[in-house]
Amino acid sequence: RGGEEGGGRGGGGEPFGWLRFADGDMNQLANTKRMTRAMEAWPTLPNLVVSVGEWWLCNGKYREIWKNSVEAIAALRDFTFHAGCFYLPMGAPDDDDLEMWADKGIEGWARAALDANVTIALVGPRNLAGIPWLTARGWGIEDAATKRARFVDAAGVSDHATRMDAAMAQIEAISVRNADEFGNGESSDRPEPVLFVFSAGHASKTMITELMRADKITSKDMFVDAGTALDGFAGVGSRDFNRGKRAVRKYCENVLRRDPKRVAFWVDPAKLSKVCKGVDVFGARKKNAPNESKYNARD
C-alpha cells in the first residue's frame, strides 16, 4: 500500500517522507547516535513511511543487528514498517514496470510533481546535478542559475556532522525561497512546498527525519529517499540494474520509446552518449515521436 499511496503524492502538495532502510543503514547504527535519535522520532511523524529492504534480514548478520539495534529502540516497538516496495514509484519513463503502476492508478511521485509544477530539488552528489528533471519546476525550460540553486551538494554528509548541518541549512533556505517566490502569502493555507529528492547514503534517514519535524520550516515539504535509483539517468553504474546492457535498455531505450521528445530532460544531456552507447538516438527519436503514448509527458 505504501507504493500506491506515496507514488502519486508528489503533486498533491501534502507533506510526506519516504525512507528506505537496508543493509548500509544497519551497518551504521553502531556508529551514529544522531541516526538512532532520528529513528526514535519516526513514530511522531504520521506522514513518514520507512520501507525496509526485508531481504537483508535473511542474512544472519543483519538479522542480529535488527534485533539488537532496531528492535531494542523502545519507541519503535509499535511502529509499523513498510515492506514490498523498496523504491517509491517515480513515474519516470525508464521504469520497466511503468505500465503496471499506471494500471493501478499510480502516476509516480516525479511525474505527479512535474505535472503539478511542484519545485523539485536534489540533495545528492555532484555527478547527478546535471539531470534536468531533478531540479525542475514543471516541464518547461529554465535557466541554469535557477536550476543550480535547487541543488544541495551531499558530499561528506554521512561522515561529517558539520557538512550535514550545512546541507540542512541550504535545504531550509531553498524551502523558504520557494515559499516566498511561489506561495500566496497569508491567503495560502500552507506555504508552497518543495519536493526534496535525496541520494545521500545513510545520512538521508537522519536529515529527512529532522527536516520533517513540526517545528521546522521544512515540515511543509516532501521528501523521497531515492538513492541509487537516480544514478542511471547520469550514466553512473552503481547497481546491476544501471550497468551494461540493462542500463542501456532502461535509461535509453525505454525513455526513447516512451518519451522521445524529452530524452534530454530525463537523462543528463552531457551523459547522453554514455547512457545511450550503441543506440542511434536521433533515429529512435524520429521513429518514436509520432507515436507518443499516454505515459508520455505533456508539452
Cα–chain-centroid distance for residue 75?
26
For the residues 234-256, what does the mean pLDDT come to? 96
Burial 64-78 (b: 16+ CB within 10 A, else e): ebbeeebeebeebee
Within a 10 A sphere around the Cβ of 207, how many other Cβ atoms?
Answer: 29
219 exposure class (CB count in 10 Å sphere: 0-12, 13-18, 19+): middle
pLDDT in tens, 169-183: 999 999 999 999 998
31, HSE (Cβ side, Cα atoms, 13 Å): 11
**Backbone torsions φ then ψ of 31, nearest 5 degrees:** -105, -15
Place of cell 535525496: 198
pLDDT in tens, 149-172: 999 999 999 999 999 999 999 999
Closest CA to 29 of 19, 40, 18: 40
pLDDT for 84: 85
User: Which three cell numbers mark 295?
Assistant: 505515459
Distance from C-alpha of 47 to C-alpha of 26, rounded to nearest angstrom: 23
Distance from C-alpha of 299 to C-alpha of 296, rounded to nearest angstrom: 9
Cα–chain-centroid distance for residue 217?
20
pLDDT in tens, 279-296: 999 888 888 875 544 444
Check if the beta carbon of residue 52 is closer than 8 Å to that of residue 83: yes
Predicted structure pTM score:
0.92
- The SS3 of residue 222 is strand
Bridge partners for 195 per DSSP: 120, 222
Place 124 in a pLDDT band, splitting at 50, 70 and 90: very high
Q: Left, alpha or beta for 278 (phi > 0: left; psi -120 to 50: alpha)?
A: left
Place 299 in a pLDDT band, splitting at 50, 70 and 90: very low
